[in-house]
Structure 1
Amino acid sequence: MQKGLVVITGASSGFGAEIAKLFNKDGYPMLLLGRRVEKIKELPLNFENVMVEKVDVTDFNSFESAIRKAEDKFGKTDLLVNNAGLMLLGNVITQDPNEWQTMLNTNVMGVLNGTKIVLDGMKSRKHGTIINMSSIAGFKAFADHAAYVASKFGVHGLSETIRTEVSSSNVRVSLVAPGAAETELLTHVTDKNALSDYNSWKESMGGITLNPVHVAESVKFIYDMPQEVNIREIDIATTAQES
């Protein structure tokens, strides 16, 4: 049986890169999207059936164009992993509102854009899976995370809403909510106090947070279930993370 196209956003590092490695190992045709395509091309992948495109997920037209280009080559999208996201920590009193908008655009609108692009085709084929990468901050509040929490609560809400709308068409919408993890999310934080507090919290857990490999394994586990089985949500964190 021919394997369907796997589309992964934010594939240059962290969760996206590890997810790409797993699906590549199993021989899936893939479209890997990101703004740093040079980093994607450095991943240890067999690029024989991999397409890499520079895409900002907030740009609907370029996002759709990249997916259609990959579908013309590999066939229709059977899995979309909406992984691209930003975490810009800061107190709402002092944080630049532009950072709020940046997070909402990427973390919420980017997910909606990808979903809209592939969903109609999945419904017509009565087959397909969308896995949205959220966060434990999508159902729990954390200090200095107000706008980020708002964006991830949004991902939780839209995922559950769309799931109910398409379940009768045998299309799966699932969500993975990691806790603190060893990714590059913190590299864009401009608030030094918020970053210092985060690192102190991390040290209270022994200084080591979640390995992205295990988050990728959770995504693969969801997808590998029969189409008639939808694991709606996985919340995953290190055992030492209490909150």
Structure 2
Amino acid sequence: MAESVIVITGASSGIGAATARLMSGLGHPLLLLARRVDRLEQLDLPDTMCRRVDVTDRAAVEQAVHEAEERYGPVEALVNNAGAMLLGRIVDQPVDEWDRMIDLNIKGVLYCTRAVLPGMVARGSGTVINVSSVAGRKTFPNHTAYVATKFAVHALSENLREEVSVKGVRVVTIAPGAVETELLSHTSDEQIKRDYEAWKTSAGGALAPEVVAEAIVYAYRQPPNVTVREIVIAATGQEA
């Protein structure tokens, strides 16, 4: 396992960067994808290819995967971590924020999966790990469009697992609660951001990205005939 290349999207910060550090420490060559390639390079990890790629650009994703496989060999695992959390009310949230989340949280997952899945199926091995959210299992105030995209991630992950499990390919869903990342900063409604921060404080704080990364690595490092289908992880004080 340790010689196989792992692809991590949204690897420039937060969960993606933490996962990259852990996987690199285990000896895996990496393909790291993000729009901020300078942040990827600052991780300074060995045997790592860094590419400025927006996962909504299917051709760019496929090209990056091709380059990584030319250098390191077949992709053994994909961590679909790139995503956007743009909170708002359907009645007044800018529609382009819906479009951005649909493109990134759903299409991006599909595009990246498609780029690596045919090879995994042909080889009879591989792991696709989709980082979803507790918001892919239940609803929250001011989360309607975001929840819709994360419910989609849960659904497509489970359906994909049913399609490829007989081919030896594992599909894992990671569903974190609130995590200390940059995601909230992209929400345009300042009151919603303040309310969210107050909610996190009332729960005793959010998860560190490293905690979620450890869950990802745990699922990946199970024997090939074992699939951890879903991990739901949240701060103890987070009731919802």
Shorter-chain TM-score range: over 0.9
Residue 232 of structure 1: which of 229, 232, 237 is its match?
229
Residue in structure 2 matched with residue 46 of structure 1 by the alignment: 45
SS at match of 1:165: helix
Q: Percent identity, aligned pairs only?
A: 50
Secondary structure class of the residue paired with 2:146: helix
- The residue type equivalent to 1:28 in the other structure is H
Q: What is the deviation of 1:196?
A: 1.6
* Residue matched to 2:26: 26
- CA shift digits 1:91-137 (9 cap, x unpaired): 11110010001001000000000111111110110000000000000
How much does 1:46 deviate? Answer: 2.9
How many correspondences in the alignment?
A: 240
CA deviations 1:118-161 (Å, max 9, x no partner) are 11110110000000000000011001101100000000000000
Distance 1:92 1:202 in 2: 23
Write the letter of the residue equivalent to 1:228: N
Question: What are the residue-to-residue correspondences of 1:154-169 with 2, within 5 Å?
Answer: 154-169=152-167
**DSSP-derived class of the 2:105 partner:** helix
Task: Answer whether contact 1:131 1:219 (CA < 8 A) is retained.
Answer: yes
> What does residue 119 of structure 1 align with?
117
Match of 1:86 among 63, 84, 107: 84
Rounded to whole Å, the distance in 2 between the matches of 1:164 and 1:2 is: 26
8 Å Cα contact 1:91-1:194 kept in structure 2: no
Whole-angstrom distance in 1 between the partners of 2:38 and 2:162: 38
Could you say which residue in structure 1 is the equivalent of 2:101?
A: 103
For 2:207, give the aligned amino acid: L
Q: Deviations over 1:33-90 (max 9, x none)?
A: 00001111112x433x100000000000000000100000000100000000000011
Structure 2 distance, partners of 1:162, 1:37, is 30
Instruction: Calculate the TM-score normalised by the size of structure 2.
Output: 0.98
On the 8 A contact 1:137/1:153 being kept in 2, the answer is: yes
Counterpart amino acid of residue 234 in structure 1: I
TM-score by length of 1: 0.97
1:52-67 mapped onto 2 (5 Å cutoff)? 52-67=50-65
Q: Stretches of 4+ moved more than 6 A in 1?
A: none
- Does the aligned pair in 1 maintain the 2:2–2:27 contact within 8 Å? no
Give the whole-Å Cα distance in 1 for the aligned partners of 2:200 and 2:114: 36
Secondary structure of residue in 2 paired with 1:167: helix
Q: What displacement does 1:2 show? A: 5.8
Contact in 2 for aligned 1:83/1:133 (Cα 8 Å): yes
Distance 2:142 2:153 in 1: 19
Match among 134, 138, 144 for residue 132 of structure 2: 134
Q: For 2:64 and 2:178, locate their aligned partners in 1 and report how far apart those are by CA, in whole Å.
A: 31
Matched with 1:147 is 145
RMSD: 0.9
Which residue does 2:191 correspond to in 1? 193
Point out where structure 1 has 5 or more consecutive residues left out of the alignment: none
